[in-house]
């Protein structure tokens, strides 16, 4: 950019200024600044402009031209602290003038709360006033969005006077949005009364009074002139208990605007039409508007209906215009509305079981709510794959002529509408565990709107068979939310006197035998697996008891607690910090006896095993004299690290950190500094609520903006879901080529992979549908590939160890009893990367030799018989006409649901055949849709155990030296799984069974990513 050259609508860039994070800056006439951002910063620019329109940050215009993205920032004006010291402003301000300023501050704060951003501590020095504009420069917020260290200097960034510090922050609590609402009350009180509410007591006594009692009412003369309800609002903002202040600043802004318009505070107005989003104009648009005036980015509440042209940049009043100009402009703000009526404002309500949505909690806990919103917990029940799988289980398992719409084996049962087994007469509906899925994906369902009992019989109520998402209320759709976790009292116990909650058992519909799914009970560790938490809403929420109003209802200990919610007991708080709390849902045990697990006395199937794997690792750590990290130590802390300002010392690219920052490791249990909401003396650290894991939600309701956020929070943790996922994944593994060498005419390439970052096996979670694999390529000196395995060219391309010839997702093919055949079965043949490792990894072990795909994904197994030729080693070999498909030499064996016995003509592990879907048939034309008969959980990587795979390769086709490159790759779901469920949902929607549309479509494939976790290379002479 050349000095003096017209830029961006004729704004002339003057002297260059120091860079601001990722932005270059130039001074402009009138005290403005012109920012230049990189080509990929359009989203950041739009965000800054949107904040600027609300009065945050000072950005008033922007666009794109041949040099990229530009933004114009205007921080001209006078600090509110300076105005308050001006002689003509020392007394009370006219109430309309005071409200006009306070309303614009509230609008700015509300915009930040809505965007889950924190603008920094509010003080009079952090507010700029110029004419009709009120701006919060928010240097730290702008700096965070642009990657500037500490946000740079600026108004509001210095030390804060104790007079403008809320009582809880004076006691050491973190400054948050509730604190800013208190300071807004201080500002409004000062403007209306002409003095600080505690000004007469002296500084020390004033602070003591602020912490202990409410602010004094206005003197009668001032109070008489104010609209009725305004004094009440100011005093509520200044309540010493943060829980008693207004819940969210948007309501404050709305009420201030209504006072200015002469309306009753709290009255509803007709909704305004949706405001179109502002877009950054392109270069042609810029050239057409080069000399157009910049549109005003703010208007007062009384004047928002009247659009006033703003001055061009060159005529902006400079900051030095002085207090007189600002005071004159302020004097015009109070023009004209008629005298308002004297409305009242409804007092704040206590939280109850009908009011525990995240937005209710965000008013006092904005950081936690904003982090939760960016987590998979907030989307646990919105997951399209979850909804599709849950519906498939209910609609197809147990389906026959007597129950043509499916048995609802994991839904609620009503004996009058239950589907029953034809031979035993025992209910199939609910036998696998009532609400087995829903209890963990949407635990609020029990409190708000319980799902109806399933009715799968002919003529049954179709409304009971809708997908989960269509049966839940608003709070149920929040999934694992604030209102759930903080109403949990502890683990369930069979001795607890409230019934053994969750799904501790499943019932055989063949014999009626009830099987336990929680073997930990025998060791006195209760509540592990299958929603083993105990909810006691009355311990946290204010339900009316004995006729007492909710706001003053006594707690379990009989004591009154006047806050918005009760303080949970010490035991409940302690339980939330344990791995056992996570284990109540992160061990998942499926109905039916596992062929492999039954040999160790377990008559259920371990579908997810994260807690049990952690517990085994924790015991090993304790035997070594170490204190094991808990789930929260890794998933609710700064582990595995943060992104601090400054380029990486090595110059290496660190894609998980934004430009201008570098990765700094943090150990498990490293929590951000600060205090939690209860302000307890021991709370010197806070937990995060990102719950970072390996998923980026497939739901379109999880916006791309939350996936691709490029900025950091106040603790240098990436806000974007993708970057947090990558941080966790890329610091989980050690990956090496351990001494590749020549071996006769061949090559030996040992690959070592070790899980060094997780206290459980990886992949974890739904480990049968997580792919972590090795892409290996060996080239000779001419660059020719002599061996390659594990390559995929697109994120939606399946791995090449197998080829799906056909997957059947149409439930139309039925046997003589009306049972679906071949549904979710696959005709599969070997692909070029078929694994040939000795021993097979699913049999266990730590060292393997051979070649083919290395994939640590676990799998599903089915009991089969051989209809081909049984070889001398006990394997089933293809007979005549067989061998094209993997399944054509097998038929279903005789699997016993109760005992887990697989009666087959094969043995030694050969009687189990791998299928690829969590429920389904043997292949695309044979077998009933059912759960797996056994689950492989030994391919995944255990903690701190090096796994060695030695490739034996031929080198005859190449010339030395040889170049070996290996990459460790991750993908959250295999594409074939999403395609299959999208096909099934499309068919069910065609049949009219999805009133709100398919639960999942092929568009979910767009969210799939292949993530490179590590890359190594070696040369073999």
User: Of 76-85, 117-126, 381-390, 701-710, which has the strongest mean pLDDT?
Assistant: 381-390
The single residue listed with the structure tokens 């105005």 is: 83
- Residues 452, 455, 458: CA angle, nearest 5 degrees: 155
d(C-alpha 806, C-alpha 814), whole Å: 18
Least Cα distance to 234 among 201, 198, 190 occurs for 190
For residue 408, the Cα-to-chain-centroid distance in whole angstroms is 29
Question: 């179709």: which residue's tokens?
Answer: 462
774-798 per-position pLDDT tens digit? 999 999 999 999 999 999 999 999 9
Q: What is the mean pLDDT of the chain?
A: 84
Ranges assigned E (strand) in 818-933: 826-830, 836-838, 847-851, 859-866, 869-870, 876-877, 890-892, 894-895, 902-903, 912-915
Half-sphere exposure of 609 (CA within 13 A, CB side): 23
Which pLDDT score is estimated for 307? 35
The two structure tokens encoding residue 56: 């945050």
Over the stretch 721-761, which tens digit does the pLDDT of each residue have?
Answer: 999 999 999 999 999 999 999 988 899 999 999 999 999 99
Token pair listed for 151: 């946000």
Segment 31-45 mean pLDDT: 84
Strand partners, 743: 746
pLDDT at 673: 72
Distance, in Å, from the CA atom of 404 to the CA atom of 12, rounded to the nearest integer, reads 74
Give residue-wise pLDDT tens across range 296-349: 333 333 333 333 333 333 333 333 333 333 333 333 333 333 433 333 333 345
Position 796 scores a pLDDT of 97
Q: How confident is the model at residue 270 (pLDDT cuts 50, 70, 90)?
A: very low
- The answer to whether 773 and 966 have CB atoms below 8 angstroms apart is no
Q: Is the dihedral of CA 204, 207, 208, 213 positive or negative?
A: positive
Look at residue 196 in the predicted model and tell me its pLDDT. Answer: 86
Tell me the per-residue pLDDT of 468-512, one tens digit each, with 9 for 90 and over. Answer: 999 998 888 999 999 899 999 999 988 766 667 789 999 999 999
Q: What is the pLDDT of residues 868-881, one digit of tens each?
A: 999 988 899 999 99
- pTM, whole model, 2 decimals? 0.71
Query: Among the listed ranges 72-81, 355-364, 518-527, which one has the minimum average pLDDT value?
Result: 355-364
CB-CB contact of 294 with 53 (8 Å): no
Q: Are 985 and 1001 in contact (CB under 8 A)?
A: yes
User: Residue 345: its pLDDT value, please?
Assistant: 30
Q: What sign results for the dihedral spanned by CA atoms 797, 799, 803, 807?
A: negative
Quick one: pLDDT band at residue 997, thresholds 50, 70, 90?
very high
Q: What is the pLDDT of residue 649?
A: 79
Phi/psi of residue 730, nearest 5 degrees: -75, -5
Most confident of 44-48, 129-133, 166-170, 454-458: 454-458
pLDDT given at position 920: 95
CB 660 within 8 A of CB 675: no
Give the other-Cβ count within 10 Å of 285's Cβ.
15
pLDDT score, position 157: 44
The residue-averaged pLDDT of 93-101 equals: 92
- Which pLDDT belongs to residue 264? 63
Reported as a single tens digit per residue, the pLDDT across 684-734 is 468 899 999 998 999 888 988 889 888 898 889 999 999 999 999 999 999
Q: What pLDDT, on a 0 to 100 scale, did the predictor assign at position 8?
A: 52
pLDDT at 215: 78
Most confident of 275-289, 549-563, 654-668: 654-668
Q: Is pLDDT of 251 > 70?
A: yes
pLDDT tens digits for range 369-406: 889 999 999 999 999 999 999 999 999 999 999 999 99
Check pLDDT > 70 for residue 578. yes
DSSP annotation string for 335-401: --PPPP-----PPPPPP-TTS--HHHHHTT-HHHHHHHHTSSGGGTTT-HHHHHHHHHHHHHTT-BT
Supply the pLDDT for residue 212: 54
pLDDT above 70 covers what percent of the chain? 83
pLDDT of residue 154: 45
Report pLDDT for 771: 97
Whether pLDDT at 40 is above 80: no
Q: What confidence score (pLDDT) does residue 159 get?
A: 67
pLDDT more than 90, % of the chain: 58
Q: Is the pLDDT of residue 268 over 70?
A: no
The pLDDT tens digits for 197-234 are 876 544 444 455 445 556 788 887 888 888 888 888 89
Neighbour count for residue 1020 (Cβ, 10 Å): 20
Token pair in block for residue 695: 């998923």
pLDDT of residue 503: 93
Whether 682 shows a pLDDT value over 50: the answer reads no
């Amino acid at each position: 950019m050349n000095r003096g050259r017209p830029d961006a609508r004729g704004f002339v860039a003057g002297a260059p200024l120091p860079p601001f994070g990722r932005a270059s800056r130039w001074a402009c006439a009138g005290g403005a600044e012109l920012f230049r951002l990189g080509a990929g910063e359009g989203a950041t620019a739009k965000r800054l402009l949107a904040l600027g329109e609300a009065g945050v940050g000072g950005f008033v215009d922007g666009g794109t031209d041949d040099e990229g993205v530009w933004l114009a920032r205007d921080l001209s004006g006078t600090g509110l602290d300076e105005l308050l010291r001006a002689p003509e402003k020392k007394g009370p301000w006219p109430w309309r003038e005071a409200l006009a300023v306070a309303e614009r501050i509230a609008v700015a704060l509300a915009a930040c709360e809505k965007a889950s951003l924190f603008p920094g501590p509010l003080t009079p020095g952090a507010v700029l006033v110029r004419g009709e504009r009120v701006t919060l420069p928010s240097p730290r917020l702008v700096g965070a969005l642009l990657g500037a260290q500490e946000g740079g200097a600026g108004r509001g960034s210095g030390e804060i006077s104790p007079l403008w510090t809320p009582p809880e922050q004076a006691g050491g609590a973190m400054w948050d949005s509730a604190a800013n609402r208190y300071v807004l009350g201080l500002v409004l009180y000062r403007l209306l009364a002409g003095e600080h509410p505690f000004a007469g007591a002296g500084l020390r006594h004033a602070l003591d009074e602020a912490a202990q009692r409410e602010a004094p009412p206005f003197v009668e003369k001032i109070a008489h002139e104010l609209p009725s309800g305004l004094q009440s609002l100011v005093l509520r903002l200044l309540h010493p208990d943060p829980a008693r202040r207004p819940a969210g600043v948007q309501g404050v802004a709305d009420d201030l605007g209504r006072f200015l318009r002469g309306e009753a505070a709290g009255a509803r107005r007709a909704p305004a039409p949706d405001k179109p989003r502002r877009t950054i104009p392109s270069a042609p648009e810029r050239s057409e508007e080069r000399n157009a005036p910049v549109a005003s980015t703010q208007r007062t509440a009384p004047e928002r209906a009247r659009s006033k042209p703003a001055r061009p940049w060159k005529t902006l009043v400079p900051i030095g215009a002085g207090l007189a100009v600002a005071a004159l402009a302020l004097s015009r703000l109070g023009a004209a509305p008629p005298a308002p009526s004297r409305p009242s404002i409804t007092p704040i309500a206590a939280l109850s079981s009908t009011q525990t949505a995240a937005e209710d909690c965000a008013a006092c806990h904005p950081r936690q709510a904003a982090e939760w919103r960016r987590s998979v917990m907030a989307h646990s029940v919105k997951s399209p794959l979850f909804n599709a799988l849950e519906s498939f289980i209910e609609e197809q398992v147990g389906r026959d002529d007597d129950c043509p719409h499916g048995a609802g084996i994991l839904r609620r049962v009503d004996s009058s509408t239950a589907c029953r087994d034809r031979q035993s007469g025992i209910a199939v509906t609910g036998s696998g565990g009532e609400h087995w899925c829903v209890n963990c994906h949407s635990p609020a369902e029990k409190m708000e709107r319980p799902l109806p009992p399933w009715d799968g019989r002919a003529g049954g109520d179709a409304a009971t068979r809708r997908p989960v998402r269509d049966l839940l209320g608003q709070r149920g759709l929040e999934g694992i939310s604030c209102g759930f976790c903080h109403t949990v009292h502890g683990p369930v116990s069979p001795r607890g006197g409230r019934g053994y909650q969750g799904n501790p058992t499943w019932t055989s519909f063949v014999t009626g035998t009830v099987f336990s799914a929680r073997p930990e009970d025998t060791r006195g560790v209760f509540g592990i697996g299958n929603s083993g938490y105990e909810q006691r809403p009355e311990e946290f929420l204010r339900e009316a008891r004995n006729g007492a109003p909710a706001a003053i209802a006594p707690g379990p200990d009989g004591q009154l607690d006047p806050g918005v919610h009760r303080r949970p007991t010490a035991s409940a708080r302690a339980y939330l910090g344990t791995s056992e709390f996570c284990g109540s849902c992160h061990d998942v045990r499926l109905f039916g006896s596992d062929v492999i697990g039954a040999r160790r006395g377990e008559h259920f199937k371990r579908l997810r095993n994260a807690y049990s794997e952690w517990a085994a690792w924790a015991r090993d750590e304790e035997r070594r004299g170490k204190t094991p990290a808990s789930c929260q130590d890794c998933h609710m802390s700064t582990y595995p690290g943060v992104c601090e300002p400054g380029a990486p010392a090595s110059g290496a690219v660190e894609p998980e950190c934004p430009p201008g920052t570098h990765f700094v490791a943090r150990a498990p249990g490293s929590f951000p500094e600060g205090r939690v909401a209860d302000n307890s003396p021991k709370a010197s650290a806070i937990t995060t609520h990102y719950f970072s894991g390996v998923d980026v939600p497939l739901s379109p309701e999880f916006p791309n903006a939350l996936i691709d956020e490029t900025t950091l929070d106040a603790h240098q943790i990436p806000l974007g879901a993708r970057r947090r996922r990558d941080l966790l994944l890329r610091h989980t593994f050690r990956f090496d080529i351990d001494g590749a060498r020549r071996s006769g005419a061949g090559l030996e390439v040992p690959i070592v992979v070790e899980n060094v970052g997780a206290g459980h096996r990886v992949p974890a979670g739904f480990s049968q549908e997580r792919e972590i694999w090795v892409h290996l390529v060996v080239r000779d000196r001419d660059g020719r590939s002599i061996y390659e395995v594990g390559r995929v060219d697109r994120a939606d391309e399946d791995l090449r160890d197998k080829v799906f010839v056909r997957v059947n997702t149409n439930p139309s093919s039925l046997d003589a009893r009306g049972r679906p055949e071949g549904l979710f079965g696959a005709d599969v043949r070997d692909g070029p990367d078929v694994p040939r490792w000795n021993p097979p990894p699913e049999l266990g072990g730590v060292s393997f030799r051979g070649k083919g795909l290395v994939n640590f994904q676990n799998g599903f197994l089915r009991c089969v018989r051989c209809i081909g030729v049984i070889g001398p080693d006990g394997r089933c070999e293809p007979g005549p006409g067989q061998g094209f498909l993997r399944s054509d030499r097998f038929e279903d064996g005789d699997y016993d649901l109760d005992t887990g016995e697989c009666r087959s003509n094969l043995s030694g592990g050969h009687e189990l055949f791998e299928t690829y879907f969590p429920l389904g048939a043997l292949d695309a034309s044979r077998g009933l849709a059912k759960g797996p008969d056994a689950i492989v959980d030994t391919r995944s990587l255990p903690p701190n155990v090096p796994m060695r795979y030695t490739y034996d390769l031929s080198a005859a086709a190449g010339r030395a030296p040889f170049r070996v490159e290996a990459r460790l790759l991750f993908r959250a779901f295999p594409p074939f799984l999403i395609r299959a469920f999208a096909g099934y949902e499309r068919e069910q929607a065609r049949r009219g069974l999805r009133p709100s549309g398919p639960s999942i479509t092929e568009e979910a494939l767009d969210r799939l990513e292949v993530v490179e976790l590590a890359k190594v290379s070696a040369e073999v002479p």
